[in-house]
Structure 1
Amino acid sequence: MPGPLDGIRVLDLTSTLMGPYATQTLADMGAEVVKVEPPEGDIVRHIGPSRNAGMGPIFLNTNRGKQSLVLDLKKPDGLAAALRLAARSDVLVYNLRPHSMEKLGLGYEAVAKVNPRIVYAGVYGFGQDGPYAALPAYDDLMQGATGVAALNARIHGGTPGYVPLGLVDRIVGLAASGAISAALLHREKTGQGQRVDVPMFETMLPFVLGDHLGGLSYDPPLDQGGYARMLSPGRRPYRTRDGWICAMVYTDKHWRAFCAGLGMPDLVATDPRFADHGARIAHIDEILDMVSGIMAQRDTAEWMEFFIKADIPAMPVNEIAALFDDPHLRATGFFEDEDHPTEGRLRRPAIGPRWSGSPTGERRAAPRLGADGAAVLRDAGYTQDEIAQLAALGVTRLPESGD
């Protein structure tokens, strides 16, 4: 089956992580995505171990489902080709700063002139009506600007730290795919295309502030912000006798079951620190310290059996490599084998969401640089001689023997 976005054409002018993750999400939902790359290719192609140059694992897992076309957009013929592709696309996605798109000749007005129905989506650093508008942005910078690094400082001895993920890139990428889908629905109802702006700073902040705005939600403030449970030094995996485990003894029901199973059935009723959720949050540091001491007394498997029986949320701490042997992921077929045409046998994760009426089918492998250029240009109306001329001028790159 083709997926819920079958028939939607996306012109992908993004690179690195945030934009490509957004467009891969659209491809996973069935959209036809043409990834336009500069002659040197997306920089992410060269991150991590690879069997062939330019086909690293982060690229493979952020660009599946796409076709690759090389275009030098700084050359007039490259710009003309991009506009010809935009004229036949439903969506254009970019992650340059908007003024850079204007300089290239690919600003919204220029693109809407050739295709008024297009959804023109930008994912970039900052809203364009503030003093940060022209600043560059990357995930690390956004983790600092949105308070994530400072929150880590509260639990790591005062030293700010980054979450070891492209956290902001992927969250904003998902938000962008949702915003684009909403704009497509609007066009379906009204026939109107539009510009969609998804700035990293303003899009990420609600994710952070939803948990940590706290007493700063009020005027005057009731505190200096921060969610005490999440900022407790004790909020970490618990050490067991033979490893580590994550457990959430959270609700009143959980605490009654936990204490009863440990032979302390009266603790919740008699100790005011455990009286209700608010009281437990007020004493979270000492409560988590107490639980840590208890958890060290049994093996991980014993605790898992205990928590499952008590219906208390718990999971073991998995190393990345151990996920391939996870019994649940094996049963659901989460990891899929892929025979890539140039990279050999690969393992890739499945798509998380599922659609009962429009399930996704076979997914295109992540492309070699320029692998689909000739086919994409032919579909846009270029003749074989014109394509050869573009290649000779360095506007595009055609696959070489062995690519």
Structure 2
Amino acid sequence: MAPTPRPLEGKTVIDFTQIGAGPTCTMILADLGARVIKIEPPEGDIGRTLGPGWIDGVAALFHGFNRNKQGLTLDLKSEAGPGIALRLIARADIVVESMRPGVMDRLGLSEAACKAVRPDLVYCSISAYGQTGPYSRRAGVDGIMQADSGLMSLIGFPDTGPAKVQTPIVDVFTGYVAACGVLASLMIRQGDARPQLDISLFQSAIALQQASLTSYLADGDEPRKQGSAAPGLATSRERVTNRQDMVAALAQPFSRRTSAEWFAVLSEADILCAPVATYADLVRHPQVVHGNLFGTAERPAGEPVAMPAPAIRFNGTERSAMTAAPTINSDPRSVLAGLGFSDDEIAIAIASNSLGPAR
């Protein structure tokens, strides 16, 4: 097979994001061939500490959101830090940041300041509630957004309280939304202004509920928790109306065979069905095995890190090799040299004590 096309080859991203949503966005850009320089504070991305699940003392979550990137620590609160950041940005095509609104401005890294050194820059801001509005200065994380957007009110069974989707679904979806915005901005003709991308977890969480919210806006009926059932999955109004009776009537005959036996019978009849897979089931799933949907990201030292492979795939091509998340400030000289910094510029940056100690 031909090598995978890398449509963002030659593009450079300066990544000022932490934890989930922002790193998902920049990981997608890296998967598509961009050179992503992940800027971390000297103590590292908070995501490095968010277990459980550890790989050599670093949270597995961090590895899952930061493959295919290079890393550089930079103290943006130091006297020289913002100036070094602007010199990086001058050599880049895209900035993605997930600070609370107002923080980048205070650091001297606002959209205007960044575009003063790189006028055609794509500047993407990811925040909890957006850059403007009464909630714009509030912090928020995935669980808060699941609650505040109404998503938690849909999850669970009729006799339970609100429940949370365990995987950080809002973070991941927001990252994909942001990546789509970046790709769209890159398509704007050279010379045209590129507006700042204002991506929020809150609006992304609302977009996740497109179907149920559209239904609510149509009839004003609050959706009810229905466990694993889908509210509109039926061929007639009567089937929806009598759902509880139907479920009770089917429970006894379905209990007489195993899920594997029913899966075979129903599949033979071309009836939509699937067993509820555990993760142990998933990694052995025939389609997973066929498509190599899991892979390993190589590390300079230590065992490779197993993880899901990139979801964006070009048919008939070979998937590119993955590299693991960067270690903290392991090689700042090569990162800066790769961005065109001279030996003197690198020496000045290191002497400023803004990059933190090499590790």
Same fold (TM over 0.5): yes
SS at structure 2 position matched to 1:286: helix
Paired residues of 1:3 and 1:358 also in contact (CA < 8 A): no
The amino acid across from 1:9 in the alignment is: T
In structure 2, what is the equivalent of residue 369 of structure 1? 328
The one of 312, 327, 337 equivalent to 2:286 is 327
Q: 1:124 to 1:328 in 2, by over 3 A?
A: same
Q: Give the Å deviation of 1:74.
A: 1.1
Unaligned ranges ≥5, structure 1: 237-247, 252-275
In structure 2, what is the equivalent of residue 20 of structure 1? 23
Say yes or no: does 1:355 pair with 2:357.
Answer: no
The one of 211, 221, 225 equivalent to 1:224 is 221
Q: Give the Å deviation of 1:158.
A: 4.8
Q: Give the Å deviation of 1:6.
A: 1.6
The one of 45, 50, 62 equivalent to 2:54 is 50
Which is worse superposed, 42-51 or 84-93? Answer: 42-51
Say yes or no: does 1:102 pair with 2:105.
Answer: yes
Q: Give the Å deviation of 1:392.
A: 4.4
Give the Cα separation in 2 of the matches to 1:394 and 1:332.
47
The amino acid across from 2:122 in the alignment is: V
Which is worse superposed, 125-134 or 167-176? Answer: 125-134
Q: Give the Å deviation of 1:356.
A: 4.0
In structure 2, what is the equivalent of residue 242 of structure 1? none
The amino acid across from 1:318 in the alignment is: A
Q: 1:235 to 1:144 in 2, by over 3 A?
A: same
The amino acid across from 1:26 in the alignment is: L
Q: Give the Å deviation of 1:365.
A: 2.2
The amino acid across from 1:223 in the alignment is: G
Q: Give the Å deviation of 1:301.
A: 1.8
In structure 1, what is the equivalent of residue 201 of structure 2? 200
SS at structure 2 position matched to 1:98: coil
Paired residues of 1:150 and 1:161 also in contact (CA < 8 A): yes
SS at structure 2 position matched to 1:186: coil
Where do 1:103-122 residues align within 5 Å? 103-122=106-125
Q: Give the Å deviation of 1:332.
A: 1.6
Paired residues of 1:83 and 1:111 also in contact (CA < 8 A): yes
Q: 1:345 to 1:112 in 2, by over 3 A?
A: closer
The amino acid across from 1:387 in the alignment is: I
SS at structure 1 position matched to 2:165: coil
Paired residues of 2:73 and 2:329 also in contact (CA < 8 A): yes
In structure 2, what is the equivalent of residue 180 of structure 1? 182
Q: 1:134 to 1:64 in 2, by over 3 A?
A: same
The amino acid across from 1:341 in the alignment is: P
Give the Cα separation in 2 of the matches to 1:178 and 1:101.
22
Q: Give the Å deviation of 1:197.
A: 0.6
Give the Cα separation in 1 of the matches to 2:6 and 2:291.
19
The one of 20, 23, 31 equivalent to 2:34 is 31
In structure 1, what is the equivalent of residue 171 of structure 2? 169
Deviations 1:150-187 (A, max 9, x none): 2236x352522211111111111111111111111124
Paired residues of 1:9 and 1:90 also in contact (CA < 8 A): yes
Give the structure-2-normalised TM-score. 0.90
Q: 1:215 to 1:22 in 2, by over 3 A?
A: closer
The one of 125, 135, 156 equivalent to 2:128 is 125
In structure 2, what is the equivalent of residue 273 of structure 1? none
Which is worse superposed, 384-393 or 135-144? Answer: 384-393
The amino acid across from 1:177 in the alignment is: A
Q: Give the Å deviation of 1:358.
A: 7.6
Say yes or no: does 1:88 pair with 2:91.
Answer: yes
Deviating above 6 A after TM superposition, structure 1's stretches of 4 or more consecutive aligned residues are none
Structure of higher CA gyration radius:
1
Tell me the number of residue pairs that the alignment of Structure 1 and Structure 2 aligns: 355
Amino-acid identity (%): 31
Give the Cα separation in 1 of the matches to 2:61 and 2:183.
25
Unaligned ranges ≥5, structure 2: none
Say yes or no: does 1:211 pair with 2:205.
Answer: no
Say yes or no: does 1:283 pair with 2:284.
Answer: no
SS at structure 2 position matched to 1:371: coil
Give the Cα separation in 1 of the matches to 2:340 and 2:288.
45
Q: 1:185 to 1:102 in 2, by over 3 A?
A: same
Give the Cα separation in 1 of the matches to 2:188 and 2:318.
22
Give the Cα separation in 1 of the matches to 2:277 and 2:227.
21
SS at structure 1 position matched to 2:209: helix
The amino acid across from 1:37 in the alignment is: E
Q: Give the Å deviation of 1:98.
A: 2.3
Which is worse superposed, 67-76 or 199-208? Answer: 199-208
The amino acid across from 2:62 in the alignment is: F
In structure 2, what is the equivalent of residue 269 of structure 1? none
Q: Give the Å deviation of 1:78.
A: 1.2
SS at structure 1 position matched to 2:102: helix
Q: Give the Å deviation of 1:342.
A: 2.3
The amino acid across from 1:130 in the alignment is: G
In structure 1, what is the equivalent of residue 261 of structure 2? 302
The one of 294, 308, 312 equivalent to 2:271 is 312
Deviations 1:365-400 (A, max 9, x none): 211111342112223443445434533443113543
